[in-house]
Structure formats: C-alpha cells, structure tokens
Amino acid sequence: MEGTIRTFNDKTRTQAKKYVRQVAESVSRGFKAKAEVEFKPDEYPVTVNDPTVTKKVTSILRKIHGTKTIEGGPIMGAEDFSRFLQKAPGTFYFLGTRNPRKGCMNASHSSEFKVDEDILKYGSLSLANLAYEFGKPN
C-alpha cells in the first residue's frame, strides 16, 4: 500500500505516522501477518506562510486593478515551496484561474484542468509588483 499524510503542523504529522504504524501492525497481527511501514525521508514539510510577509503581499496584491485578493484558510496541499519557507520567510499564494463561464476549472492533476488564459497577465503583474515592492530599500 502507498499513501500520503498531510497535516497542518509537524506535531500532528508525527502523531499521524505513529498511528498509521500502530494500526497497520495491529490489523496485520489480527490476521497472523506482519506489516512493515516505511515513510520516505524526503517528505514535503508543512507549508507555513510567514504572517508578516503574507500581510504585505496581500496589501500589494489588493492594489492590482481588476482583481480580487482574498485570504484563504489552510489547505491540505503537498508543496515543495515549503522547503523555501524553511530557509526564508515568505508566502505561497494561488492565482485564481477558475472561470466556469468559460469552462475553465481548477482541477489540477486532472484531465479536466483548463486555465482562463486572460488571467495569466495578472499572475505576471502580481509577480512584477511583488518583486518591485519587496526590492525597495527600507
């Protein structure tokens, strides 16, 4: 069997691994079998945005005419960007490309994924604005 464990913090992740191991070993013992549980050492860390950076990014993005910037809650993603956030404060954000009127759905990792290409200019603009604002001397 193979699977993914996704959590919002490292403490819960450690506990989940412990429980997965306990359940697998207990169930297998009940069937007179043996379970070996392995976790890949190169797992993605939990993605945790820096609150100060997130506040500044949100402020900058809200100034882009024709867009709507919202702060969402936690999601159960697995993202390699989490490794960058362990080295420096930052924030991970999404560019909303879902547009049901055009048949554009945000079903990533799916054959149903279709992006509204009219939105891509806002992605470029957001990155340019962020680079400019964060590049200013204090």
- The domains of the chain are located at 1-43, 51-135
Measured between alpha carbons, how far is 19 from 24 in angstroms, rounded to an integer?
A: 8
Contact status, residue 134 vs residue 55, Cβ threshold 8 Å: no
Q: Count Cα atoms within 13 angstroms, Cβ side, for 110.
A: 9
CA distances, 21 to each of 36, 71, 93 (Å): 8, 36, 34
Measured between alpha carbons, how far is 72 from 95 in angstroms, rounded to an integer?
A: 12
- Per the annotation, the verdict on 44 as an active-site residue is yes
Contact status, residue 94 vs residue 105, Cβ threshold 8 Å: no
pLDDT, residue 2, reads: 85
pLDDT, residue 37, reads: 93
pTM (2 d.p.): 0.79
Residues 86-118: tens digit of each pLDDT: 999 999 998 888 777 877 776 667 777 778 888
Q: What is the dihedral of CA 7, 84, 66, 133, to 10 degrees?
A: 140
CB atoms within 10 A of CB 61: 20
Which alpha helices (DSSP H) does the chain contain, by range?
Answer: 10-30, 51-61, 81-87, 120-135
pLDDT, residue 133, reads: 97
Catalytic: which of 25, 44, 79, 133? 44
Report residue 41 CA to chain centroid gap. Answer: 19
Catalytic: which of 19, 71, 112, 117? 117
Tokens of 50: 């820096």
Which residues of the chain fall below pLDDT 50? none
